[in-house]
Structure 1
């Protein structure tokens, strides 16, 4: 039986998420199983998602539709990223051999906006999308360090400080001390805190104008810890030079 109101919206978004998280097109029956909805409800909700272009129906099932790239472009436009950030990421990747990332805090959320890591690289622990491990990642710490204390506390209260590895900081007091160091040294580093075998480094990008919408941006790299320990100064220097271009 069709649902109306907030529950219907929530289920439609769950379908969209399920398609986005899948490795390929998904059948309506599979979507019903994954979302816990009846097949009739799934079909009822798939119709407007398809008509509006959020999804497309293929011979193998439902896939993301042509509206998604437009939404992504709009998202980037609203974030107002630094001009040429894509070129800088590519240059940083060539200079370090490490995957490079552009991340942002806005409206209480931290997002990995762009990266040089291929979308097919499922081993990479830092993929585009919402970041919920800010307390354990270098880009998260670089962004949190720039926020007013009230916004920082609100973010950590809403997202928590889950222990991801033995090195993860899970104490608010310890994290505040770490963020103070980040501000003092001008960069953040996470050695095995979010992923046991990866190190990431990040720098917050200076604001070109007053932040009326509390947005903060950062540039970062990640690489296996064993590689980072062979050339930490080289990687940090390349990151600093890249940030200076934005």
Structure 2
């Protein structure tokens, strides 16, 4: 049957990838003959692949003749970790979008700044136009308040000193004492009631893992009149946040 056909694979690519795995399995490096035996490849093929990998920066030959992984993989690995996180997190966000009819966001607080990792929206609810970044508008967004609420007092003070509280809408909280009360959250939820954009409301929950140093937040945005309904799905949001905390890869 058409659906049961084996995919067309490029043998040389498979051999090269398998050889790279074999090289990586030898922390102190290994000569070509040893790698050929371990990878189950002819020696001539192994030499050819190693020369090609070395030319592209994916393998390096040491002075003693041993082969190790090349420096080009370091940058590829760093970028790849972000993509691994997207591959694991995006289905969770998409599930919330489809189930609740919202736009869904995942952000982390890292090295003193808020970074948006991913956002998923759809035709029913478009993502919020981030005309002011999350760092500058942490006080006015559910996701920002959720992240600030997870910091200690010194961390919050330091962030707000670098990013003064801008007055974005008539509902924006710009008084520090009032903001501090909101940073405690309510029923495990952090809210934005048209504080960032008129007509739009947001709900956020923490995505945290102290053992791995993960300080994050999951948020959803919707039309302001739908806030009560979306807020009622807090249990579903917390469930999704727990799943993200388990699968997110930290760079």
TM-score w.r.t. length of structure 1? 0.60
Q: Structure 2 residue aligned with 1:235, among 219, 226, 233?
A: 233
> 1:89 aligned to 2:93?
yes
Partner residue, 2:53:
none
Deviations 1:72-113 (CA, angstroms, capped at 9, x unpaired): 984683799598211111111111110000111111111222
Unpaired runs of 5+ residues, structure 1, are: 1-69
Partner residue, 2:190:
188
Q: Structure 2 residue aligned with 1:113, among 111, 117, 123?
A: 117
Measured after TM superposition, the shift of residue 235 of structure 1 is 3.3
Measured after TM superposition, the shift of residue 233 of structure 1 is 4.3
CA contact (8 A) 2:150 2:215 kept: yes
Pairs within 5 Å for 1:208-223: 209-211=211-213, 215-223=214-222
Unpaired runs of 5+ residues, structure 2, are: 1-73, 245-251
Aligned residues: 169
Partner residue, 2:105:
101
Partner residue, 1:124:
128
Partner residue, 2:151:
147
> 1:226 aligned to 2:225?
yes
Partner residue, 1:199:
201
Report the Cα distance in structure 2 between the residues aligned to 1:72 and 1:179, rounded to whole angstroms: 38
Report the Cα distance in structure 2 between the residues aligned to 1:116 and 1:164, rounded to whole angstroms: 24
CA contact (8 A) 1:101 1:112 kept: yes
CA contact (8 A) 2:102 2:121 kept: no
**SS state of the match for residue 183, structure 2?**
helix
TM-score w.r.t. length of structure 2? 0.59
**SS state of the match for residue 244, structure 1?**
helix
Measured after TM superposition, the shift of residue 186 of structure 1 is 1.4
